[in-house]
DNA sequence: ATGGTCGGACCCCGA
C-alpha cells in the first residue's frame, strides 16, 4: 500500500472542516497536513476528523492566527513543534508516520510568514521576519541534519509563501517586486532547499515551462478566468528518498469548491 | 484598473 500525503493551507480549520471531509472522501489521503488552522489546540475539531478515520492527530495551534496540524490514518507520533524567531508563532510541526518494515517517514509541516506588502526588511518588520525565518530554517537543516532528515526519509511541505520559479507566477515580470516572488526571497528559499539538497518533487513531475499555481487571491472577480495564481505551497523530499514519490497532484478544482480556501491541496504518493 | 475579498479577532489586523 502506498502512502499518500496531502498539504493544504485551509484558512480556518473550523470554518472549513467540511472541505477537509470532501478532500478525504474524494482523494482519501493517508495523511493531511494543514496550515493556517487559526485555532487553539483545545478548540481543534479532532472528533470530526477521527470519524473520518484520521485517528492520529498532531496540532500546533494558537488563537486567531497561523497554526499547523497533521491528521493521519496511519500510526504517527509527534516529534517536535519547533518555535522559530522567538515569536511564539505556531508555524511548524514535525511527525513520524509509520512505513513498511519498521521504517518511518518524517514530515515537517511549515507555515512560513507571508511577509507583508513592502519587500524591504529595513522598513517592513514582517518582511524581515520572513527572511529571518528562512535563515533559521537553513541553519537548522544545516546543523541538525540527522534529526531533521533521518536516513529512512524526510519531507518538508506546507505553505512556504514563496513562488520560486518564473513559471510559478502568472507574470514573472509584474511580480518581481511583489512579496512572494522577489529575488531576495527566491534566493533565500533556494538556500533553504540546498541546506539538505531537498528535491522539489512537484516541479520534478510537472516541470517548467508549464505554469503551476496553488494559490489564487480572493480579490479576483473570477479567479479561474483571470488565473493570476502563484505556487506558494511546496513538497520537498530528502535527497536519496525522492525516488519514493511516484505521483504528484495539484488539486486546482478545490479552489472552486463552496466557500473555498484561497489555497488548494497538493497530494503526493510514496511507495514506502 | 494600484483596487479588490476573506477570517478571526475585536472596534482592525494579517493574508
Class in CATH terms, A3-270: alpha beta
Judge whether residue A14 contacts strand B, using its CB and a 7 Å cut-off.
Answer: yes
Q: Which nucleotide is nearest to A159 (CA to C1')?
A: B15
Judge whether residue A12 contacts strand B, using its CB and a 7 Å cut-off.
Answer: yes
The angle that helices A183-195 and A125-143 make with each other, rounded to 10 degrees, is: 20
Summarize the confidence of residues A122-126 as an average pLDDT. 96
Domain locations along chain A: 3-270
- CA at A152, C1' at B2: how many angstroms apart? 49
Task: Say whether A262 counts as a known binding-site residue.
Answer: yes
Which residue has its C-alpha nearest to nucleotide B3's C1'?
A219
Residue of A237, A222, A239 lying closest to A269 (CA atoms): A237
Confidence of residue A1 (pLDDT cuts 50, 70, 90): confident
Summarize the confidence of residues A236-244 as an average pLDDT. 97
**From CA A237, how far away is CA A143, in angstroms rounded?**
18
The residues of A carrying an active-site annotation are: 111, 159, 263
What tens digit of pLDDT does each residue of A51-96 get?
999 999 999 999 999 999 999 999 999 999 999 999 999 999 999 9
Summarize the confidence of residues A169-176 as an average pLDDT. 98
pLDDT at A114: 98
pTM: 0.98
- CA at A4, C1' at B2: how many angstroms apart? 42
**From CA A244, how far away is CA A238, in angstroms rounded?**
10
Sort strands A233-237 and A199-200 into parallel, antiparallel or unpaired. Answer: antiparallel
Judge whether residue A260 contacts strand B, using its CB and a 7 Å cut-off.
Answer: no
Q: Which nucleotide is nearest to A262 (CA to C1')?
A: B6
pLDDT at A27: 98
Amino acid at each position: 500500500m502506498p502512502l499518500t500525503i496531502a498539504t493544504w493551507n485551509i484558512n480556518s480549520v473550523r470554518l472549513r472542516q467540511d472541505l477537509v471531509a470532501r478532500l478525504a472522501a474524494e482523494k482519501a489521503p493517508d495523511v493531511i497536513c494543514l496550515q493556517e488552522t487559526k485555532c487553539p489546540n483545545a478548540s481543534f475539531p479532532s472528533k470530526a476528523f477521527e470519524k473520518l478515520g484520521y485517528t492520529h492527530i498532531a496540532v500546533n495551534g494558537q488563537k486567531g492566527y497561523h497554526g499547523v496540524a497533521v491528521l493521519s490514518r496511519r500510526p504517527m507520533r509527534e516529534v517536535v513543534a519547533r518555535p522559530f524567531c522567538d515569536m511564539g508563532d505556531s508555524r511548524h510541526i514535525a511527525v513520524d508516520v509509520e512505513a513498511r518494515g519498521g521504517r518511518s517517514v518524517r514530515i515537517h509541516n511549515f507555515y512560513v510568514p507571508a511577509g507583508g506588502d513592502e519587500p524591504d526588511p529595513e522598513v517592513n518588520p514582517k518582511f524581515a521576519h520572513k527572511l529571518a525565518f528562512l535563515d533559521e530554517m537553513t541553519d537548522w537543516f544545516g546543523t541538525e541534519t540527522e534529526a531533521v532528515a533521518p536516513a529512512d526519509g524526510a519531507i518538508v511541505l506546507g505553505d512556504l509563501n514563496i513562488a520560486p520559479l518564473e513559471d510559478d507566477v502568472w507574470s514573472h515580470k509584474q511580480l518581481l517586486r511583489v512579496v512572494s516572488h522577489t529575488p531576495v526571497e527566491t534566493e533565500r528559499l533556494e538556500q533553504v532547499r540546498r541546506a539538505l539538497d531537498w528535491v522539489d518533487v512537484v516541479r520534478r513531475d510537472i516541470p517548467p515551462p508549464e505554469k503551476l499555481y496553488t494559490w489564487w487571491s480572493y480579490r479576483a472577480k473570477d479567479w479561474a478566468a483571470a488565473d493570476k495564481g502563484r505556487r506558494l505551497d511546496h513538497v520537498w523530499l530528502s535527497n536519496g528518498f525522492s525516488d519514493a514519490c511516484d505521483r504528484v497532484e495539484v488539486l486546482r478544482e478545490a479552489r472552486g469548491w463552496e466557500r473555498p480556501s484561497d489555497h488548494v491541496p497538493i497530494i503526493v504518493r510514496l511507495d514506502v
